[in-house]
Each structure stands twice: as structure tokens, then as C-alpha cells.
Structure 1
Amino acid sequence: MADYDLIIRGGTIYDGSGGEPVVADVAVKNGVIAAIGVFTGTAAQEIDAKGRIVTPGFVDVHTHYDGQITWENRLAPSSDHGVTTVVMGNCGVGFAPVRAGDQQLMIKLMEGVEDIPEVVMAEGVPFNWETFPDYLDAIEKRESDIDFAAQLPHSPLRVYVMGERGASLEPPTQADLAEMRRLTKEAIDAGALGVSTSRSFAHQFRDGRPAPSVKTEDQEVLTLAEGLRDAGKGVFQMVPSYDVTATERMDLLKDIARTSGRPVSFTFMQSPRGTDDWQEMLRGLESAKEEGLDLRGQIIPRPTGALLGLELSMHPFSFNPSYKAIEHLPLEEKVARMRDLEFRKRLIAEEPSDPMAFFLYVIADLDTLFVLGNPPNYNPHPQESIAARARAMGVDPKELIYDALLQRDGHEVLYRPLGNSEGERFESSGRHLVNNDRTFPALGDGGAHYSMICDAAYTTYFLTYWVRDAGEDRKIDLPYAIRKLTFEPAFAVGLKDRGLVRPGYKADLNIIDLERLHLYAPHVTYDLPTGGRRLSQRADGYEATIVSGVITYRQGRSTGALPGRLVRGGRDVPQVEGEKALEPA
């Protein structure tokens, strides 16, 4: 009989602590790391990792797989990029709790906020639940390639308690607030990892109405924090408003942390609306630390933005009247119509119209529109924009953008940066945001924005752009980078049993050929329910990914194994004799 279930031999271990690597074997038994050293014993399976790095599995605490987990067993694209645990239910949106008759409202909400096609959700989400504990019971039966945890979202909770008054943004009564507080505690006690809310102007129904959480008063937000305090566990996640000052933003986040007594994290981005306020936000994080508040920023270690094209949700002409007449045609027919000179002239001359102001904002700035390319260039120079090239050629930018959309027979992808990308500024703020003990990488948004954003590959991007391929002016050391992708996000949300390669910890691991690590451009597939489309993004260099001691991916391809399960609530640090627990800064 074999001594272990799996032995990874001779890899260079970056254990997630930020310490220097060691070359050793990793032995796994019963889903946990049994020992690290040099072993002569046997295992049911062995992997030769010589010349490769061995890391903990990556943890992305900001995803939206709430629906996808109900209809399929792979949580891609996250699981294609070394992620072994995801947290969903972010931004205050999700599918539970929901009363009979309100399911369509939740679908419409997710369609607007997270760009998931209505027909996909109507076909794919079973809605075999009402309360949030019911939802957890339903998804606990699901098997997946990676682990997943859920948070209670504010918008569905508000509608569940208040009905149409909640969807119509009416103020809550004291009885409404008391019920939200009670249900928050109930969800946490049942295994919700935390509670989430949003005040982002971008979070709207498709008809332009704000999501139910967006316009709520501070008292209601703090009521959710009181529910966490009542439970004595759980975390709070927020997308703050970037229409207010950084001081106002931080004041509310600190109030949430004080009221709940629990860890709080928030979407922290450099916004084009306030290009320098990241510095004030960092000062606010430091003052929160001095006060003893557990407040941290979730960052994405690359510029983020919308992907536009004829196959995708939008492009600069998609809201023009003439395009609306052809938008549902097959791509080949659409391209043929757009190549008609009379149609082209008419479409270019028209102005866009749509009830969703955020979508119009995305397509409006032609000076920040680029061809993404393959490999993708997420850091283009302003002079590389299509509009800048058009001006240099002496032509109308709309003409050149039109031509770009028709490249590759209509498959071309255009890139519209939306955050962390103000010329040289991201290179400055980026270093400060990544190299900070009060921030950690997240915001992959997997399971959402199927036809507009593909950020779940940020783990691969981080290890290439900021680590392997970086010059000394921006280089992040590999031990620190691995810590930021593993231990820090896991600890921030209370999943303290993973994120380190140490005895007793969950055997979630990656074996990576760092020199061969390569990120391909996103591409469109049609494999959602009803044949719905989504953006996928491949990578080379992930030689193996392991979840609970089971090999789930080899050479970037699924093995078909599904060891991933729902994680109910936080997890304590494994108690192993002789091992000292690691604490974040």
C-alpha cells in the first residue's frame, strides 16, 4: 500500500509566506499536505516537478459564479489560471434570497450589472431555493473543478425584505432594517462567507435603473454590518462609489469595520474620474490599520477594461439605430451588411442611444480605444489608440474604428481601458497598490461579463508582466507575488486552511513552468446554456493544478476530476505540532 496519495518531487517551492524558496518534495494524503522534505516512500501518483515552481493554489475572492455553479462543473476561466478557490456573491448581486415571482427581477438585475444574457440565466439557473440557506443547500450538492464560497448579496436581500419597494429604491422602515439584520446573521450562521454591497454607478438594470443597493443610505449598509457583528464571524465586501471623495469613501468603509468588528475589503481601483485619489485611499488604509481596523483593498494587478467587438456585447456603433436592425444576424451576415458602403455611411453618421448610461460612457471615448492583439497588450501607449492613428493618417477616427471591427472577418477584439490606466499614472499607482500590505489581488469577475470583460486571467498576467518580464523599475519579487495570490486573499476572507504549502494545509497546489508561462488573447466560445457566448482565455505553463490532493488540470487541460465543493463559512488555521501560524501584516 502506498505511503501517500501524491508526491510532487523536486520542485522549487514558493510556499506562500513570502519567504525564500526551497527545493523539496511535497507529500499529500487525504486531501492535505502531509509532509515536505525528501521522501523515499511511495505514492499512488507522482509528479516530477524538477525545474518547475510549486505554489499554493491561487485564491480569487471577487467572482460571480453564483449562476454558473448551478449549471456546469467547471468554474472557468478562473480554473484555467491556477485558481483553486473562488468567492462569489460580490457587488451586492446574486440569485438569493428570492421569493416566488421575483426570479425574473434577479435575472434582469444580473443581466444589467454583470452582463449575463437573460436567456442563459432563464435556461441555466434552476431557482430551486428561496432563502439564502436554501441556496447554500442547493449548491452544496454541486461538484466542481475548484472550491467555491458564497456571500449574501445586498440587492436580492433588500428586494426579499421590501418587495417592490426595495426594487424601487424606497427607504426602508425600521422593521425592514431589523429583518435585513436578522437575515444577514441567518445567512452567516448557515455558511455564507460574508455579505456584499455596491454603490457603483455602473451597477444598473439594463433599462438604466440603479441596482437596489446603489442608492441606499449609510444606515442600511451599517445594518448589514450589524448582522455580521451579531453572527460574530464573516466578512464584508463593498464596491464603493467613485462619485464621492476618497475621504467620504474611506469614512464609510471605516464605519462598516467599526460597526461589524469584522474584516472589510473593497474594490480599489484608480478611476479615470479621480486619477490621484488612490494616494488618499492608501493613507486611509494606513490610518485604519493604526486604529486596529481590518480594512483592505481588493486590486487587480493590471489595467482593466471592456472588450468590444461585433461578437461581443457592444462596440462604438452598437447603440446606433441602423446597427440595432442587424445586431441579431449571424456574424458572417452582419459583416457583409457592414461592408456595404451605403450602410457604412449611414451607421457612422448616426449617434448612439441607450438607457444605460454606463454603456454609453464605455463607447464614448474614442481616444482610449485600441486593438487588443495576440498576445494581448493591456498597457498600450496613447499614441497606439485607433483615434491617434487616424489623426496621424488624416482620417476620421470613426472610419478607422469601423475598419478595425471588420478585421479578421469580424472577430477582432478592441480594448477600452476603464481603470488603472491613465498613461504613466498606473505605472506609479500600480506599484504602490501591488506593493502594499493593505491590498491584495482579486477582481477576476469570473462568471460575469461573459461578452465584455475577461479579467480572470490576472493571476497569469501578474506572474508574467510584474514578475518574470519586468524590468527593475517595476519588478515584483516572485516569493512576494505568490504570497499576494495565495495566503493574503485566503486569510483576508477567513479561509485560513489554504494559501500555504505547509503540513496540515489543504492540498491545493500549482506546478508551473514559469519560463513557458504565456497568456493568449481572449476568444469567443458559444458554450453557455442556449448556446450563449462567453469570452475564454487560455494560458500555457500550468503543468498541473491540484485541488484537495486531486489533479484537476495537466498541461492546462482538465482531467475531468471534480473535487471542488462549497466552502461553508471560514476555516481555522490547521493545528500542526511544531508549525507556527503565519499572520498577515
Structure 2
Amino acid sequence: MTRYDLVIRGGLVFDGAGSPPRIADVAITGGTVAAVGRWLPEGARTIDATGKWVIPGMLDVHTHYDAEVLGSPGLGESIRHGVTTVVFGNCSLSTVYAEAEDCADMFARVEALPWDAVHAAVKEHRDWTDPKSYAASLAARPLGANVAALLGHSDIRVAVMGLARAVDERVAPTTAELKAMRRMLTDALDAGFLGLSTIRSSFSKLEGTRYPTRRLPSTYASWREYAALNAILRRRGRVHQSTPNLTSRAELVRYFAQSAGRGRSPLKTTLIAAADVKADRTTARAAVGAAWLANRLGGARFRWQHLPVPFEVYADGVDLVVFEEFGSGVAALNIRDVMRRGELLADETYRRRFRKDLAKRFGPRVWHRDLHDAQIVACPETALVGKSFGQVADERGIHPADALLDLTVAHGTALRWRTVIANDRDDVLDRLQRSEQVQVGFADSGAHLRNMAFYNFGVRLLERVHQRGFMPIERAVHRLTGELADWYGLDAGYVRAGARADIAVIDPAGFDGSSAAYAEAPMPGIEVRRMVNRNDRAVAATLVAGQVLFEYGEFADGFGSTLHAGTFLPAR
């Protein structure tokens, strides 16, 4: 009689294709699903999944784990939430070609990561010279989750042009330099990379001492340069991921046009983000409608990435990316020295600019800038905790902007506050998650360590569907698994005979609302307490390649050190 390595017994099995679920056993041998059916023989180990959901491991397609994976390859904060495959290299940022100092300058400010941590990770662990050896280096590490990668445009632009020329708006790459970038991209695709990531956002700035007020290199590229690289992606059927420039929404037409497929192969294009933004309630409907037109009439293969939970952010003082949206906010973030920044924030001339910027009601933006909708959660003046800056201002007879600046000058990063900037209306969230023009993503896992935590976005989506019933559960599972795997071309996302045994066992009894609660935890290898999600009752087990890595809050022995489960997944 056949004896399997492991049998997951009696769960409600979702195949990842959107088919209705069925009670079945899942048998695993050699890291692969050997059979799905009733009354299968025992395995060397059995997991009782009675009353639980057995689903394919979820995909997180928008992460910035590029540095973390080098020193902490388990990626436990994703594994603990049933995510078994992550994609990094988003937003033009990767660590394939650029040197350590350049990588740190590019990642640190825009992704709110410690400069020293990024620099050390790349410098100490670098044992690759090109995309092929980079993929091999990752595959050789004791990975928890499987990893897949995009090649960052800023990465290759700096490697070819040097940082100084790559962030000079007067300089365009020479013919030889553009040819070199095309060769780098081709080599990456040959090595199994999913595609290319770019960025146009004017809010994305460098860190470091060399060019701290310049934008990321990819933002200085012309559309001619993008077109030269996109031609390779189109020919190979690979993905272009990007972040548009919100101050020039007309540029979105260019993305739609480059994705269009009438008379040629469409280019897979995915942008961040479809969101119900508080600052502009027309954004979500307009974004989805424009994508529908591009796909239906233009033959495009365009998708917005969408975070399926309220977009709640936290800030220490004024350290938050949304301050990059306006001039006075940028001026403050450009000053990294605490004392000098405090002097600026105390200056009345500066404050007049700041108040004027907050009062603007027109023009593209993400943050609503309503300081009555910004709650203080930590402050040495403990009586203020729980109040908004607007309330504090009303009590003190001052402008809300002055309340924020006064408290930041007085307490620096000891002042911590929160607000929700998007996705606060359930009915709109429901519509977005049903839309074929969006894909579930944009968790930014591994970045913005003190600002936001959406590592468990998939579990939270399943909980919302379970409680609200706005789509069939099998459809939600498909959106988190097979749909993403197929779109990105990955060997993942399904529970069926012959598939990789990357599986999450979900316990719906754990859907108690705690998944959205605030929590912090030490970050491995870095002296930072990062924001996390902790809902360990909802994830009964996470398996990668048939190995049980996590069960109800506990990781397997050797996780992230000696236990090697995940691998580098190439594009199909």
C-alpha cells in the first residue's frame, strides 16, 4: 500500500482554480501533491484538517524583501500568514547589479528601511555577479517562502550610468548604455525573472549623503527608454510593474498605450494602486473604468494592484512617505538630522508654507491631510494619547498643523500617530475585490517597517469574505493563488496532483477580528521593532514543498537557518 510523506486529512479543499471546494484528503510525497481524494492511505505524518480550509499557499506579488531575504531567508512574517511565494524587485528597486552603497541610497528613504541594514545585507552577502548567479544564490539559501523576482530599472540604470548621471535630468543614456540595459534585462529574463519594474513617482527620493534630494533613477528615464525595454518584455510575454506619477495623471494613458495589444502582442502591465482614497473619492471608480476601457477596447493586459484591507498608516513625528506629496513636507524629510529638522519645523515662515500645503483641496494626492482624522497613539504627554491633532488644536486654540509641528518639535519620533488614508468603505472594497481589472497585491511586505503592516492581507481578505459573503470563498482563494500564479507565470497557486505542495491550512474559527490589531515585533538581524500582524489562530499550518514550516504560532525547528524549503521560482 502506498505510504505518503504527509497527509492533510479531511479538510475543505480549495484547488486555487475557483472550483467549488470539497471535503478531501491531500497526500504529499517528495514535495509534490501526490493525490487529492477521500480515504487516502496514511502518511508518515498526518495533519487533521477537519473543519478547516486547505488552500494553495498564497502569493504576495508586491514585496520589498530584497535585502531581508539575504540575512533572514525564512521570511517568517509572510510564512506565518499562509503566504508561500513572494515577488520582490518591485518599484524599480532590486539588488542584482548595483553596488551596496547605491542599493542603500535607493531603498532606504522610499521604502523606509534603515540605510545601514540595506548596505550591510548587500555588501556582506553578495556572492553573485549577474541574474543567473543571483537566482542561484537565493535558491541555495535556507528559504522559507519561495521567491520570484522582477529586475529593477533603477538598479540597471545605476549599474550602467553611475548614480550621478542616472539621477541627472540633463543626461540620457548613450546608445551603448541603453544597449547594455537591454542586455541586462534579457539576461534576467533568461534567468527566470518575471519582468521589469519601473517608477515614475515624483515622491520617490534617494537617501544617503550624495544625492538625498534626487528622485530614484528610473524617474529620469524617457518614455523612449521605457519603450526600448518594454519591447523585450512584450516579445517574451513578461511583466512590466510600475508606480505612476500621481502629479501627472495624463501619463497613465502611456501605460495603457504600451499595454495595448491591437495588432501586436499585449504587454502585461501592473501599476499601484487601485484604492478608495479618502482625499479623492472618484479615484477608485475612475481607475477601474480606465483599465476596463484599455483592456476591452485596446486589447491590453493591464491590472491595478489592490490592497484588500483599510490602508492604515502610522508615523513617528513627520517620518511618513505621504509628506513627500507637498513641498514643505519634502523640505522636512530632506533634513535627516533631528536637531536641524526641529529648527525648521519651529520656524514660522516654514509653518506658513506647511499650513498652506495642508489646506490645499485640489490637485492629485493620496493623504487627505485632515488632522482631525489623525489620532495620537503614543506621546510623552500621555494625556494626549487617543486624541487627534485637530482636538489638541481646538483645546489649545491653534491651527491643527501647529499642533502636529509643536508636538513633533517637542518629542520627535516619540510622537506616534495613525490615520487611514484609503479603503475605509466596505461596499467600495467589496466592488474592488470583485473587479477583473485589479489583482490582489500591494502589501509592500518587508518595507515601511514603522509605518504599516499588511503581511496578512490574504487572511484578512478571506475573513472579510467569510463574514460579508460578497463573493464565493473559492473565488477569493483563486484571487489570492491561481489567478496571480497564472498572470505572473509561476509554478504555484494550485492544490492538485502533480503541483508543488505549497499549502496553507486556514482555520476559520480563528476569524475573530484580531487580524487587524496593531502589533510590533523585533525584526531579525536589525535593531528595529517593526509593525506586524498577528492572527495565529487563523493559520493552522503553512507548508512549502511539503515541509510544515509553521503551525498555530510556532515555526519548525531550523526555520530560516538549516531548514531549506523554498526556492527561486522562475517564470514559466
The alignment partner of 1:491 has SS state of helix
How far does residue 172 in structure 1 lie from its aligned partner after superposition? 2.2
Partner of 2:165: 165
Whether 2:538 is the aligned partner of 1:546: answer: no
- Change over 3 Å in CA distance of 1:5–1:220 after alignment to 2: same
How far does residue 284 in structure 1 lie from its aligned partner after superposition? 2.8
How far does residue 18 in structure 1 lie from its aligned partner after superposition? 2.4
Whether 2:503 is the aligned partner of 1:505: answer: no
Partner of 2:308: 301
Q: Runs of 5+ in structure 1 lacking a partner? A: 328-342, 374-383, 572-585
Contact 2:100 2:119 survives alignment (8 Å):
no
Question: 1:137-216 maps to which residues of 2 (within 5 A)?
Answer: 137-163=136-162, 164-169=164-169, 170-206=171-207, 207-216=212-221
The alignment partner of 1:461 has SS state of helix
Contact 2:274 2:438 survives alignment (8 Å):
no
State the Cα deviation string for residues 351-383 of structure 1 (Å, max 9, x = none): 6799xx99x99796423313579xxxxxxxxxx
Partner of 1:483: 478
State the Cα deviation string for residues 381-424 of structure 1 (Å, max 9, x = none): xxx9714544776765579869999xxxx988532333445xxx
How far does residue 243 in structure 1 lie from its aligned partner after superposition? 1.9
Contact 2:260 2:294 survives alignment (8 Å):
no
Partner of 1:386: 388
Partner of 2:21: 21
Question: 1:165-314 maps to which residues of 2 (within 5 A)?
Answer: 165-169=165-169, 170-206=171-207, 207-230=212-235, 232-245=236-249, 248-256=251-259, 258=261, 261-270=266-275, 271=277, 274-290=280-296, 291-309=298-316
The alignment partner of 1:278 has SS state of helix
The alignment partner of 2:232 has SS state of helix
Looking at structure 2, the residues matched to 545 and 528 of structure 1 have their Cα atoms a distance apart, in angstroms, of 20
Partner of 1:467: 465
How far does residue 468 in structure 1 lie from its aligned partner after superposition? 3.0
Contact 2:109 2:205 survives alignment (8 Å):
yes
- The one-letter amino acid of 1:294's match is R
Partner of 1:108: 105
Contact 2:482 2:494 survives alignment (8 Å):
yes
- The one-letter amino acid of 1:447's match is G
Contact 2:481 2:493 survives alignment (8 Å):
yes
Partner of 2:361: none
Instruction: Give the number of equivalent residue pairs.
Output: 526
Contact 2:258 2:267 survives alignment (8 Å):
no
State the Cα deviation string for residues 186-242 of structure 1 (Å, max 9, x = none): 110012121111112221113231101123221111222112245x24222111222
State the Cα deviation string for residues 421-477 of structure 1 (Å, max 9, x = none): 5xxxx445423321112212111111211222212221222123x32333x7xx333
The alignment partner of 2:150 has SS state of strand
- Change over 3 Å in CA distance of 1:399–1:292 after alignment to 2: closer
How far does residue 135 in structure 1 lie from its aligned partner after superposition? 2.3
Whether 2:137 is the aligned partner of 1:122: answer: no
Contact 2:306 2:440 survives alignment (8 Å):
yes
Looking at structure 2, the residues matched to 417 and 516 of structure 1 have their Cα atoms a distance apart, in angstroms, of 25
TM-score calculated relative to the size of structure 1: 0.80
- Change over 3 Å in CA distance of 1:485–1:530 after alignment to 2: closer
Looking at structure 1, the residues matched to 258 and 44 of structure 2 have their Cα atoms a distance apart, in angstroms, of 52
Partner of 1:444: 443
- Change over 3 Å in CA distance of 1:564–1:297 after alignment to 2: farther
- Change over 3 Å in CA distance of 1:315–1:165 after alignment to 2: closer
Contact 2:259 2:301 survives alignment (8 Å):
no
State the Cα deviation string for residues 282-334 of structure 1 (Å, max 9, x = none): 2232233334332212111123243123798799999799992499xxxxxxx
- The one-letter amino acid of 1:205's match is L
State the Cα deviation string for residues 16-54 of structure 1 (Å, max 9, x = none): 222322111111122121211112412011011111111
Q: Of 397, 416, 420, which aligns to 2:419?
A: 416
The alignment partner of 1:69 has SS state of helix
- The one-letter amino acid of 1:117's match is P
- The one-letter amino acid of 1:525's match is A
Contact 1:188 1:233 survives alignment (8 Å):
no
Contact 1:306 1:418 survives alignment (8 Å):
yes
Looking at structure 2, the residues matched to 61 and 191 of structure 1 have their Cα atoms a distance apart, in angstroms, of 16
Contact 1:315 1:363 survives alignment (8 Å):
no
- The one-letter amino acid of 2:114's match is P
Looking at structure 1, the residues matched to 336 and 504 of structure 2 have their Cα atoms a distance apart, in angstroms, of 49
Whether 2:501 is the aligned partner of 1:494: answer: no
Looking at structure 1, the residues matched to 389 and 440 of structure 2 have their Cα atoms a distance apart, in angstroms, of 32
Looking at structure 2, the residues matched to 565 and 49 of structure 1 have their Cα atoms a distance apart, in angstroms, of 23
The alignment partner of 1:482 has SS state of helix
- Change over 3 Å in CA distance of 1:461–1:370 after alignment to 2: farther
Whether 2:490 is the aligned partner of 1:531: answer: no
- The one-letter amino acid of 2:338's match is K
Partner of 1:434: 433
Identity of matched residues, %: 27
The alignment partner of 1:551 has SS state of strand
Contact 2:12 2:52 survives alignment (8 Å):
yes
State the Cα deviation string for residues 139-191 of structure 1 (Å, max 9, x = none): 22212111001111000111112223213242223333222222211110012
Partner of 2:375: 370
Question: 1:324-339 maps to which residues of 2 (within 5 A)?
Answer: 324-325=338-339
Whether 2:86 is the aligned partner of 1:86: answer: yes
How far does residue 76 in structure 1 lie from its aligned partner after superposition? 3.5
- The one-letter amino acid of 2:79's match is S
Partner of 1:580: none
How far does residue 479 in structure 1 lie from its aligned partner after superposition? 1.8
The alignment partner of 1:74 has SS state of coil
State the Cα deviation string for residues 104-141 of structure 1 (Å, max 9, x = none): 12211111221111111222223333433332232222
